[in-house]
Amino acid sequence: VTRVLVNGREGRAIDPMDRGLQYGDGLFETFAVQDGRARFFDWHVERLVEGGRRLALPIPDARLLRDEVADAWPRGRGVVKLILTRGIGARGYRPPAAAVPTRIVSGHEWPARDSLLWSEGVRAGLCRTRLGRNAALAGIKHLNRLEQVLARAEWDDGAMDEGLMQDDRDRLIGGTMSNVFLLLAGRWLTPVLADCGVAGIMRRAFRGWAAEQGIAVMERDIAVADLAGASAMLLTNSLIGAWPVRELAGGALPLDPLAARFNAWLAAQ
Amino acid sequence: VTRVLVNGREGRAIDPMDRGLQYGDGLFETFAVQDGRARFFDWHVERLVEGGRRLALPIPDARLLRDEVADAWPRGRGVVKLILTRGIGARGYRPPAAAVPTRIVSGHEWPARDSLLWSEGVRAGLCRTRLGRNAALAGIKHLNRLEQVLARAEWDDGAMDEGLMQDDRDRLIGGTMSNVFLLLAGRWLTPVLADCGVAGIMRRAFRGWAAEQGIAVMERDIAVADLAGASAMLLTNSLIGAWPVRELAGGALPLDPLAARFNAWLAAQ
């Protein structure tokens, strides 16, 4: 981390009574930043506003957030993470009547990753850890992430690149840190996220781009058993863009050119 | 809050990169303390150890925890909250190979509550917010508590005293901050907590005490629809002991003397 702004001031001290720590009572966003400018900034803010609506958490003005993102990573290519909590509270679950949110904006180096992940594809497998279903929390990027932590702890980097997660009804939902798209019987599909999962910004970008290419990507309930019939798969997130999957649960998958085409478009944004 | 110890040192500054804040990656316990001594301390530590086993989080030595609890509230009656996180980490869900947990021990005044809640009973009602099911996280007291926060935000203190929560299969699990016991067809029952909910220390104490009285309290799957047939109900947590319920979803419930008997026993501990 190079720089952290807490409520707009440089600093590294969070009050232990902050409800973000006490209960995971808050939201976050991870921005890909170039020269102080966040990619798809408006869409990140839209998701944050939706999260704020669900949690009854006031969201700061977008201009303030834009300025702080630029402050946290003004030059070059980097990652800015924004955490927004319900602020300091007394003991007990009840939210304060007038919450004063805590805003934490941190700048991070762009992660160094092998370019072969994009050109040759990645290895994905199914995690044992499942996602609980709760429509009230589905889609938004809240701070309750233990399921992802437990799933991500299941493998070492040497073994695979991303783990896929299912819900308790054996439905594929997404990767631990990514959304998933698969080609099934000639159609591109992505899981419905009504009950769990995060509605990724790059998921939205990929669907929008695909539609412009005349490729309809449908949201569907996808059974894990259907993965065996997939003829291609790709994974998206805000930092990686799209990764084509070359190996799924140990079996080879052909690389579809769609991921590379999307990444080329993305690089030109 | 009167005193906060962070890793044994007085202070109020948590690193914003702490995984407790970033992901709710940690556990907590709330102790009822009298003159530096926590009630049912060993059982709290047992639950913490079980949580540590599930999350692969190393738990500090019980003697250290006992000393810090006493430090945080040495005299009189108070509440000590312990938070144990996976410590500071880099960006990303993957837990550090060698995590250095953060230990936060805070002392709080005993909550001032009307004694009529014990003598005359409390009002309970059903929350709209439900609990997602995930056996990997059920029973333990982890830091992902947004469901409880949303449920607790549904009512003002004037309206009722505790909200009951159900899972997505319409099964009663517990209160937002308590466990629930009900008398159904002449038998005392409490919900199975295999898929969600917190296995409360006072729940354990109540069951143990009841067994000594010759009263078997059975764990059962309890449908919310069965609440209509309940002839008595009580709520337990580490601070309140047992509250008899006098009003359930607007309907009157007779007070059963069991809560008062248990509280009398508890006061003598």
CA angle B200, B131, B181 (to 5 degrees): 40
Which residues partner with A182 through β-bridges? A189, A233
Q: Among all residues of chain B, which has the CA nearest to that of A96? A: B153
Contact A18, A88 (CB under 8 A): yes
CB pair distance less than 8 Å for B146 and A148? no
Using left for φ > 0, alpha for ψ between -120 and 50, and beta otherwise, residue B139 falls in left
Contacts of B30 in chain A (CB under 8 A): 91
Point out the residue among B81, B108, B136 whose CB comes nearest to the CB of A150.
Answer: B136
CB contact under 8 A, A146 and B168: no
The confidence score (pLDDT) of residue B85 equals 98
Nearest Cα of chain B lies from the Cα of A260 at a distance, in angstroms, of 24
Say if the Cβ atoms of B137 and A153 lie within 8 Å: no
How far is Cα A119 from Cα B81, in angstroms, rounded to an integer? 50
**What are the b/e assignments for A183-205, b being 16+ CB within 10 Å?**
bbeeebbbbbbebbbbbbbbbbb
Whole-number Å distance between alpha carbons of B120 and B118: 6
Q: Mutation target for B interface from A86, A106, A146: give the one with most B CBs within 10 A.
A: A146
Residue A126 CA, chain-centre distance (Å), reads 18
Predicted local confidence at residue A256, as pLDDT: 95
Measured between alpha carbons, how far is A235 from A197 in angstroms, rounded to an integer?
14
pLDDT along chain B (269 residues), means of 10: 91 95 98 98 98 97 98 97 96 93 97 96 98 98 98 92 98 98 97 98 98 97 97 98 97 96 96
Give the closest of A16, A93, A146 to B23, CB-based. Answer: A146
Q: What is the DSSP letter of B230?
A: E
Residues of B in contact with A111 (CB under 8 A): 91
DSSP label of B177: S
CB A124 within 8 A of CB A175: yes
Q: Which residue of A has its CA nearest to B24?
A: A24
What ranges make up the beta strands (E) of A67-149? 77-85, 102-109, 122-126
Whether residue A57 is predicted with pLDDT greater than 90 in this model: the reply is yes
Chain B partners within 8 Å of A134 (Cβ):
130-132, 147, 168
Q: Tell me the pLDDT tens digit for each residue of A135-163.
A: 999 999 999 999 999 999 999 978 899 99
Residue ranges of the alpha helices (H) in A5-97? 19-23, 41-55, 62-72
Residues of A in contact with B134 (CB under 8 A): 130-132, 147, 168
Picking from B42, B40, B37, B104, the residue whose alpha carbon sits closest to that of residue B76 is: B37
Strand (E) or helix (H) holding B26: strand B26-34
- A17–B106 C-beta distance less than 8 A: yes
Residue B265 CB coordination number (10 Å): 16
pLDDT of A1 over the 80 cut: no
pLDDT at A2: 79
- B215/chain A closest Cα distance in angstroms: 32
Nearest CA-CA distance, residue B186 and chain A, Å: 33
pLDDT computed for residue A137 by the predictor: 98
Q: Which of B2, B14, B169 to mutate to test the interface with A (most CBs of A within 10 A)?
A: B14
In angstroms, the CA A219 to CA B263 distance is 54
How far apart are the C-alpha atoms of A74 and B234, rounded to whole Å?
57
Q: Which of A24, A30, A91 sits opposite B144 (nearest CB)?
A: A24
Helix (H), strand (E) counts: chain B: 7, 15
Residues A47-66, mean pLDDT to the nearest whole number: 98
Q: Do the chains contact at B14 and A21, CB–CB below 8 Å?
A: yes
CA distance B204 to A31: 45
Give A269's pLDDT tier (boundaries 50, 70, 90). Answer: confident
Size of interface A-B (CB pairs under 8 A): 179
Name the average pLDDT for chain A. 97
CA B15 – CA A35 distance, rounded (Å): 26
- State whether ipTM is beyond 0.95: yes
- Of the candidates B95, B130, B153, which has its C-beta nearest A94's C-beta? B153
* Nearest residue to A43 (alpha-carbon basis) of A136, A132, A141: A141
Q: What is the pLDDT of residues A195-243, one digit of tens each?
A: 999 999 999 999 999 999 999 999 999 999 999 999 999 999 999 999 9
Arithmetic mean of pLDDT, A124-140: 98
The DSSP secondary structure of A153-211, one letter per residue, reads: TT--TTT-SEEEEEBTTSBEEEESSSEEEEEETTEEEEE--SSSSB--HHHHHHHHHHH
